[in-house]
Structure 1
């Protein structure tokens, strides 16, 4: 429900409603196009059967058309009028049907009524016999969706064929040029604004039944979900999204809603966590940014509804987003929510909104637009965090056995978190692991970063090396392999799979070495899993070959390991899962390592994990002054501190700010060797001290 209240009091709303009642509407259209109706108050618990409408408000302009009531007139929004006219003449509906339509049933000029109705919005949609989603006319505003619904009906029947002997024939037929018109129509349908409005998510998820209308044609929610899965099966083939039949952004938005609905209705699901769904809504829009939180009250867990409290529209967006962090900590005794300022920050978008409009750096600014909605956008979204953060991995992937816990339980008990009364400052104990000396390059790898800060780099996302202060001793053979292993683990964030469920296998180090060697020999890299991954790795290696790791560059490190003999260092590594390439005369040939099958799906391999880290998560390889290796946010710079806050599972990159020893949150970091409580040993040995951080 978006908001565009009328300044004057409309007499049709004379019968006041509260948090236990609603207004329902009957309407009809005369032959000359006039709309007439009846608006009546009901107790929600005893309301008659009614339909609810889900639609896009558009420019929030009124059409000039009104619904004539005995008590006055109801102005109709431009975006709603075509839907009302369709309903009036459609054979599935009747003049005696009751409807709940937000812009007509709620007096939006009454702030108290608005807040009360928002609070029971979930109950309204659950109570409705069916929600009718209006996606617009088949042809409007340069968007031609002719035949889209009919094609979706066709697709929803094909799912069994993708697992049969004719699967390849079905794929090839659907991918043929003769189907281009149908795919264009569906693409236009999934690009309609309805899919990216925050309120429409729960309007699709909560009702018992949902039907999507485009013009006079319709499809049920169940059949739509089946059609989306058929599109997925047709697109993937043997690789992740091998063929883009629909623009990826449009596909992901609709497909992710299918996943959210699965999580909502599955009997074994634990519910949807607030932070996970707020991150998912990063590419959605809202007229009032406070509705980013209130619009999902109906689909999140009871604990998260409790921490939000009652909807209210009197305090600022900035205050509410900061308050959300405090409420989150009060409920979970955890600050993992801070990690989301990595994506939702004043500095993460293409332009600076300015200081006056900014939230504190430690509070995620959920207003920031993110182009892609990833099921697992951050390390804090790890599958182990499902109780307080959550993610949208497939339901069949609920098993996990790996967890990031940088401070460990002993240090968590010493966090001593405090918030200033004005909610502009936060204090928490932690330890500085080290300061960043160098950050690697991402140039040419097409990362998803859209930060105006990074856009000022020359070159864009280029290699940045500080003064080389790392120890200068000559590295022994064991050191070379150890550093290579740290780099390989860092590039996959220490995990085997994109849902961060399982520890990365040791052979990922061997795979990394094979790929680096192929780059040095200018070979054609191994074919698995596709040209995009191969070319991206080669580009990344070229950009980072001169990154210094102690006395060696990355290139020298690889050369020394490959060329070593007596005994060959490569033989000390696990068997790789990929072949080094037929022309390589420096690496032995082994049968591929197939031990990946136990806990992973077909897409889990070093290259796919590398792509997820470098491209989708926009992480840069980092080296610290003391020789730690890891991955940093793309906005990190030499001199930034890498910190383990005692209330946060993931290390953070912090930057000094102001004269009063304040710190800004830059984003989350992977620090190899310090992701599972090892920070406690630094304090125990006396090599590091507990630091009181004031985040601003």
Structure 2
């Protein structure tokens, strides 16, 4: 029978204090203890030295007993697995672990410690990343990462229509039937990349070290494998037609954001960085509490900057979102494209009661459809992202007015037109970007787009009432002398956002005509095949 211990009792933390976890290992066991330290010791004039851990909490329903200072704490499975490896890591320093070093039942302490996250992770001597226990072939998977990155770089930029596509073996990689690939995917698409809190933890670290069981992985090699590993699925096929797994490209956000934070030449005002980070992580990074959707990115700003957001010690969720949203919208201003990406997220049908109409419900958005990211601009200076030029409809200056009433947002600009009608948006946009649809599903999407465009053209260009030949009626609005509500040039340019200059070609009106003719030709072809989609013809 195991020895029973009293529940852990946390001491009260004074301003500037944190708890650090110490370990003492012998051949039989590891003894853990918590000690309180000030982040800056006025007695010695030296900063306290410590490490910090970055990891995912895992399944919150499973808890395990952890003995610390001869008392019981409850921890989750992922941390339980990590602790033996952390006790044997190559460091003599104590370590800061949020689940243990913060009293999770004290909301006031949690908020106070969250406000110190910027200092904790930026001052830590090393931040250890825990990716989980490695399988038996973990070392082989780690050894493959550099080659995966190299091959990904080689095939990146090649035409996706290239046939025959290279096989993994032709590029010096194992067959996709090799049992090592699941271990590779566990690394490249590890759940750690998609936890909201780890974004700031990795970005702020002076030195970052990655644990996969007892193995250590080079951060740069891991980043390149994550970045370019997705390319394998687009450009390679095994001998039987199987392709490598492709995943969410947002798993590379962790590396991109760290690059911005660590490179002084890429620095922007903290409000801009906070806004951009929120937009980058909203859909791709998970958190368990709706409060964490804001608290999980506050670690990017220093204590004095957090004061400008004017957060209460224990705010309600509505107050937290409102104060946070008001601070960003009134600081950045609508002359920046990210401002509009943020602002456009506010109007959704299901949001917190009493939340202002202009303020997004961040947690609700994280579980809904696609975030409006079309105007999101990232200043990352890597070669793969150069040439992304923001588009502005107006070069005039507009700004949001600071107000003492945090539930009110006043934006000053110039009224240049009035929105009189909103038309249906482009159908299936997210599915087209995701790819991987069947021929039947792809055909249905094309037919939906054809109906959408014809209806839109009829309404905007005031085409004649359709007869038995809708193709001919709509063609009249383009080719014949029919009075137009707006010009054809304005119409097709609006559909492409007036962004006609692409990397290696220019969109023209004739190309738009070809696009419409292609949709009509496809509809006739599908009708001949007698597929069960006649209702769209």
TM-score (norm 1): 0.56
Aligned partners of 2:65 and 2:72 also within 8 Å: no
Partner of 2:13: 16
Q: 2:267 aligns with which of 251, 267, 270?
A: 270
CA–CA separation in structure 1 for the residues paired with 2:12 and 2:423: 66
- CA displacement 1:143-182 (0-9 Å, x = unmatched): x9785333325435667866999x9687843677446543
1:333 Cα shift? 4.4
| Alpha-carbon displacement from aligned partner over 1:22-41 (angstroms, at most 9, x marks no partner) | 22221135555564335242
C-alpha change, 1:486 and 1:185, in structure 2 (3 Å) is: farther
Which has a greater percent of helix? Answer: 2
Show the counterpart of 1:37.
Answer: 33
Pair 1:14–1:55, CA change in 2 (3 A): same
Other structure's SS at 2:128 match: strand
Give the one of 100, 106, 123 matched to 2:102.
106
Report whether the alignment pairs 1:423 with 2:425. no
Measured against aligned partners, the alpha-carbon deviations of 1:552-587 in whole angstroms (never above 9, x if no partner) come to xxxxxxxxxxxxxxxxxxxxxxxxxxxxxxxxxxxx
Q: Distance in 1 between matches of 2:304 and 2:243?
A: 39
Show structure 2 runs of 5+ residues with no match.
1-5, 159-164, 237-241, 435-446, 465-475, 527-532
SS in 2 for 1:257: helix
Q: Indicate the SS of the match to 1:320.
A: helix
Once the two structures are TM-superposed, the CA of residue 213 in structure 1 deviates from its matched residue by 1.9
Deviation at 1:83, TM superposition (A): 0.6
**2:496 aligns to what?**
492
Is the CA contact 2:156–2:231 (under 8 Å) kept in the aligned structure 1?
no
Q: Residues 392 and 332 (structure 1 numbering): CA distance in 2 closer, same or farther, change over 3 Å? A: same
C-alpha distance in structure 2 between counterparts of 1:505 and 1:154, whole Å: 33
Corresponding residue number in structure 1 for 2:295:
294
1:203 corresponds, among 201, 204, 208, to 201
Question: Does the CA-based 8 Å contact 2:49-2:125 persist in structure 1?
Answer: yes
CA pair 134-110 structure 1, distance change in 2 beyond 3 A: same
Distance 1:344 1:132, change over 3 A: farther
Q: Does 1:409 align with 2:402?
A: no
In 2, the alpha carbon distance for the partners of 1:517 and 1:370 equals 38
Query: Which residue is equivalent to 2:427?
Result: 442
> How far is the alpha carbon of 1:319 from its aligned partner?
2.6
Instruction: Quote the residue 1:78 is aligned against.
Output: 77
Q: Name which of 205, 225, 228 aligns with 1:227.
A: 225
The root-mean-square deviation of aligned C-alpha atoms, in Å, is 5.0
Q: Any conservation in 1 of the 2:461–2:488 contact (CA below 8 Å)?
A: no
- Partner SS, residue 22 of structure 1: strand
**Following the alignment from structure 2 to structure 1, what is the Cα–Cα distance between the partners of residues 321 and 430?**
33
Structure-1 separation of matches of 2:232 and 2:226? 10
Paired position in structure 1 for 2:162: none
Per-residue deviation, 1:201: 0.7
Q: Distance in 1 between matches of 2:460 and 2:496?
A: 27
Alignment match, 1:334 = 334
Aligned to 1:155: 148
1:254 shift after superposition: 2.0
Where does residue 551 of structure 1 map in the other structure?
none
Q: Deviations over 1:107-126 (max 9, x none)?
A: 33444432222112122111
- Residue 321 (structure 1) aligns with: 321
Q: CA deviation at 1:316?
A: 2.3
**Aligned pair in 2 of structure 1 residues 316, 80: CA closer, same or farther (>3 Å)?**
same
C-alpha distance after superposition, 1:181-224 (max 9, x if no partner)? 43332223344432222111111111122222222222122221
2:168 and 2:175 in contact (8 A); partners too: no
Give the 3-state SS of the residue equivalent to 1:288 in structure 2. Answer: coil
Sort the Cα spacing of 1:296 and 1:481 in 2 relative to 1 into closer, same or farther, 3 A: same
Aligned CA distance change for structure 1 residues 489 and 153 (closer, same or farther; 3 Å)? same
The residue correspondences of 1:466-481 to structure 2 (distance < 5 A) are none
| Secondary structure in 2 matching 1:435 | coil
- The answer on whether the counterparts of 1:197 and 1:286 sit within 8 Å (CA) in structure 2 is yes
Tell me the CA shift for residue 440 of structure 1.
6.1
Q: Which has the higher contact order (CA 8 A, sep 6+)?
A: 1
Structure 2: how far apart are the matches of 1:484 and 1:80?
A: 61
Q: Distance in 2 between matches of 1:509 and 1:122?
A: 52
Find the residue that maps to 1:439 and give its secondary structure.
coil
Counterpart mapping for 1:521-536 below 5 A: 521=521
Q: Please, what TM-score do these two structures have when normalized by structure 2?
A: 0.70
Higher strand share: 1
Gap change, CA 1:346 and 1:145, over 3 Å in 2: farther
Offset, 1:313: 5.7
Question: Secondary structure in 2 aligned to 1:308?
Answer: coil
Q: How far has the Cα of 1:278 moved from its partner?
A: 1.0
Aligned partner of 1:529 in structure 2 is: none
Distance 1:161 1:443 in 2: 31
Residue of structure 2 in register with 1:117 after alignment: 113
* Cα distance in structure 2, aligned partners of 1:265 and 1:372: 32
- How far apart, CA to CA, are the structure 1 residues paired with 2:170 and 2:369? 28
Is the alpha carbon distance of 1:187 and 1:397 closer, same or farther for their aligned partners in structure 2, counting shifts above 3 Å?
Answer: closer
Alignment deviations for residues 367-417 of structure 1 (CA, whole Å, 9 cap, x no partner)? 12268988x8133x3x4xxxxxx56684675667664245x637x48x8x6
8 Å Cα contact 1:21/1:43 also seen in 2: yes
